[in-house]
Structures are given as C-alpha cells and as structure tokens.
A and B are shown apart, each in its own frame.
Chain A
C-alpha cells in the first residue's frame, strides 16, 4: 500500500468567525447578539488624513525650481478629487495636465525636487457587516466586531499582509500571467484573483491603486522574499505587511491556480471576501439568507479559547488508490491536479536515477506518471 500526505485546500460552507475592523476612530452601531446581513452598517469611522507626493516637474517635464509657476492652486489651499492641480501648455498649444487624486490640501512644494505633498482630508467611512451572521464580540476601543458566519475557506500555500476585505474580482484566466496592465484605479478596494504568476510591478501598481488583496497561483521567490522579510521559512513565523494582502495558492514560479480553488473563487466573483495574507487563507462568506439558521444552531468554542477559526493542519497520510484526487508538488508538473488511475506495485528507475513507485494520474489535459513522494491528496472524502 502506498500513502501520501493530505492537504486541505477548500472547505465549503463551514461556520467560522470573521473580524470586521473600523478603518479609523469611530463608533460601533451593533450590539452582541445582533443578527446582521451584508449591507447592514455596523460602524462608522473618521479616516484620518494620509498624504500623497506627486512629482510635478517630472510629470510636466519642467525644471523643479519652476514648478510653482505651473501650479493652479496655492500652497495651503484645498483641492477636491479631479480638480486641476497643474498645467503646462507648450509652444504648439498642446496641454499637459495633472488633476488631484483625492480631496486634500496642498501642504508643501519641494523646489529642489519638484515634489508636491498633498494631505488628504479626513472622511467618514461606513463599515458594512459584509456577511449574514450573528455579532459575537465587540471591542469598542479597537473598533473591532467579531461575527459568526457561514463561509467557504480556501487554504492557500502562503502569503503576506494583514486581514483585508473587498469585493472579489477575477482579472484573468487561472493560467494567465498578470502584468501591470491589469491594475487600474477602478480596482480600488477590490481583491483580485490573478492567474499563474503575479509580477512585482503589478503588486506595486495595485498598492498605488488601493487594491486590497491579490490571489495568485504563483509568485517569483525573489519577489516574495522581498515582501516577507527577506527569508523563505515555512510555516512563516513573522507577520508581514506591505500595504496589500497576498495569498499564493500553489507555489513558486508560474503555476496555474488549481481548478479546485479557482472553481470556488469563480463562484464568489463580485462578492464580499476576506483575505488573510499572513495565514494564507481566503474567507468567502455565504450570501444565502437561510444560512442564518445553520449559523444560529452551530456552537463554536468560546471566544476566549478560540477567537477565530483555527485550522488544524492535516499532517496525516492516506492510502493512495484509484480515484484519489491528487495534486503534484515539487518542480516537475507542479500544481497539476487529477485522479489516480493506476498505482504501480513495483519500483521504477526514473531518469534522475532514483527508484520510486509511480502513480498514473489523469489530469484535464493528459495522463502523467509521478513518484508517490511528489503527490499530495486533496480530496479524501470518498
């Protein structure tokens, strides 16, 4: 008998607790025991001003010391999003313009570099519940609400970034390379589902555009190292944060998002989603009102013992047999999924010189033979 480790990748419709956070100081509008639906506003916050630096001289192609002459507002004045900030007209009458990216105040102009600093105005931001559920805990000081809800959970391989939420948005096919062109300002606040590989430039552009999170099949290790504190240690011990949350579902390099995960993400396209980069998990809440019955009747451990859903990582092994759904790990055929159609009883000498028991797998596109050591079982429910 041959055995392979089990990996839990997708859990459908389980009862979990999720955290909802105010984005700044504010008030919580619900009480413990309240029943909430996705559009209910559970709190409001005043988001403190941030700032943005725009290099006016580079954008207009002028000398830094001349920048002030091209500004359409004076330092200290207020400006609203989309209003004209600076303008240059060349000798042929062609215009180059810069508009304000947000509501704010022109705070400072650096005449040596041409950098203009705009301080954003604080604004009121409402916090919707985002899910059907029951409020189980409130921390007014931290502005945090814990809601018991029903969700499907995707267990990615690893990731980075704190818990964030947003509307899930599929930007490409599961095997597509996701370059910078996929990132636009219209994706602000969204969680993007990318393809097989997301590039550093894409991540930088998404941060600039205010994207909440990215879900991808693979990432280049050098770029992940840069985001995860310079080391590749699994399970990752330190929590890291770079202004966006990222969950990598398969591994390093260009690896398509597995069909099991892509299927559940496709079903959640356009819906509210929570992503926890540091634990590599994605929470896809149920939007069926009748889920409330299951939520009410399911008892979870007390919050003091288990504040959030705790995933007990499966380390056990199961017997490989015909019909087992498996995923290839390692570097050759990485991430391919399929069903076992044959398990060899005797060992075969591979091209590498290693003797190994081979397993034949039928994937969507082809049949492949893989050593047992390079497999994990992803569906052991049958």
Chain B
C-alpha cells in the first residue's frame, strides 16, 4: 500500500491559522493553546499522518474549517468566472467541491461536509437568493454529486421551517443543523416558513440533488 498524501498537504498556509479561531471550534476539548499550536505545527511537519483518537479527529476538523476559511473565495476575487477561481467553492455554479481523497482522513462524509460549510459559507454574505442552495460534489478520478446544502433564512430564533421530502414531513428549528437522507439523484422538496424564506419565498417547492450525503440544512442565523 502506497503512503497516502495527506489531508493538509493541499494547503501551504496552515501556519497562518489563528489559534484562537481554532479554539472556538474546540469547546469542551481538553487542550490549551500551546498544545494546539504544537499539534498544528506537527501537522505541518507530517501532513500525511492520520488522527488516532476522537479528540485528534475533532482537532483535525477544526484545522480543516479554518484552513478552508483562509483559502476560500475572497471578496473582490474573480468569483464570476464560469469554472470558478477556487478549488473548494464554485460560487457561479453554487457547488461545494470536496476532494475525494479527504474521505481517507475524514471518513464521515456528513462531518466533512459540515466542515466545508463552516469553513466556506459560515458568515458569508449572500450575493443573491440563489446562494440559499448549494450542490455538494465529490471530486476524484470522476465527479460525483452526493447531495445538497440548504441555507434557509429565518426571521427569528423561534421560527420553524416545515418541509416535506419524499413523502416525509420534518420540522426544522432555527439555529439547528439537520441532515435528511435522500439517496435518489433528484429529490423534490416542499417547504413553508412563516417568518423567513428560501430562495426568496416563504413557501414553495424545489428540486434538488440527492445522493449518499442527502440533504443538509444549516438553520444557523448568520
């Protein structure tokens, strides 16, 4: 078995990560900033090593979130380019692009996708209402669409989103993170939200991509 290239050797600016930003993702993890700095530095030294413990995995995911944030599209960059100017987020086609090899280091596709959402979309100012819906693509030898990410806009913290997908009904609370299984290539979704909207409307039906990831709904209020 050949040695795998690492999760983090795709990035050459890991040393620019702010440790305090990392600590925000690691609430409840027993680690202090000096240890975290050394952990990160050893990752730079040995990017192909794999996390052994559950805590190591949490730290690696926190590092991934922050390094994606550092390497995500920047305001004023050539976001209008059809092919996209960023390897992880195509803002023109509204695609989240996950390198397939990352699954060797973070096998849980749901956690990996949340890391991409946190790193690339959290606090991102939406340019238009179409940025409420993103398609998730795994990129390797061939591209595979694995699901969608929905970012509803809630008017208040008490608001609920009612959705129906493949005959099942769900109530999504504002502030929650939800994943709904939807293995078909295309899934129909109907929604109502009293005080808020999706794609500019408070009720409607949309068709979105499904797959092995399914639908992920980020109900956090940015």
Contact = CB atoms under 8 A, between A and B. Distances in A.
Interface of A: 1-5, 157-158, 218, 220-222, 224-225, 231-234, 251-253, 317, 329-332, 334, 350-357, 370-374
A147 B110 CA distance: 61
Contacts of A351: 52-54
B34 interface: yes
Given A329-B42, A353-B108, A373-B50, 9 more contacts: A221-B38, A234-B45, A331-B42, A331-B43, A350-B51, A352-B50, A352-B54, A352-B57, A354-B105
Given A233-B15, A373-B4, A329 B49 contact: yes
B48 interface: yes
Given A225-B15, A354-B51, A354-B105, A252 B41 contact: yes
B50 A374 contact: yes
A253 B106 CA distance: 25
B2 A221 contact: no
Contact of B15 (A157, A231, A329, A354): A231
A373 B43 CA distance: 13
B35 A352 contact: no
B3 A317 contact: yes
Contact of A373 (B14, B48, B57): B48
B1 A372 contact: yes
B200 interface: no
B22 to A, nearest CB: 13
Contacts of A232: 14-15, 41, 44
Contacts of A354: 50-51, 57, 104-105, 107
Interface of B: 1-4, 12, 14-15, 34-35, 37-46, 48-54, 56-57, 60, 104-108
A158 B45 CA distance: 10
A221 B57 contact: no
27 contacts: A3-B1, A5-B3, A221-B37, A221-B40, A232-B44, A234-B44, A252-B38, A252-B39, A253-B42, A317-B2, A329-B45, A330-B42, A330-B50, A330-B52, A331-B39, A331-B42, A332-B51, A332-B56, A350-B51, A351-B52, A352-B52, A354-B57, A354-B105, A373-B48, A374-B46, A374-B49, A374-B50
A330 B49 contact: yes
Contacts, number: 109
B42 A2 contact: no
B3 A4 contact: yes
A234 B8 CA distance: 13
B47 to A, nearest CB: 10
Contacts of A222: 34, 37
A373 B5 CA distance: 9
B37 A220 contact: yes
B52 to A, nearest CB: 4
Contacts of A231: 15
Given A232-B44, A234-B44, A234-B45, A352 B56 contact: yes
Given A3-B3, A253-B35, A353 B45 contact: no
Nearest to B33: A222
A195 to B, nearest CB: 16
Nearest to A329: B46
The listed residue with most B CB atoms (<10 A of its CB), out of A224, A352, A370, A373, is A352
Contacts of A353: 54, 57, 106-108
Contacts of B54: 351-353
Nearest to A328: B49
A337 to B, nearest CB: 15
A220 B34 contact: yes
Contacts of A225: 15
B45 A352 contact: no
B96 to A, nearest CB: 21
Contacts of B56: 331-332, 352
Contacts of A4: 3
A1 B37 CA distance: 35
B7 to A, nearest CB: 10
B108 to A, nearest CB: 6
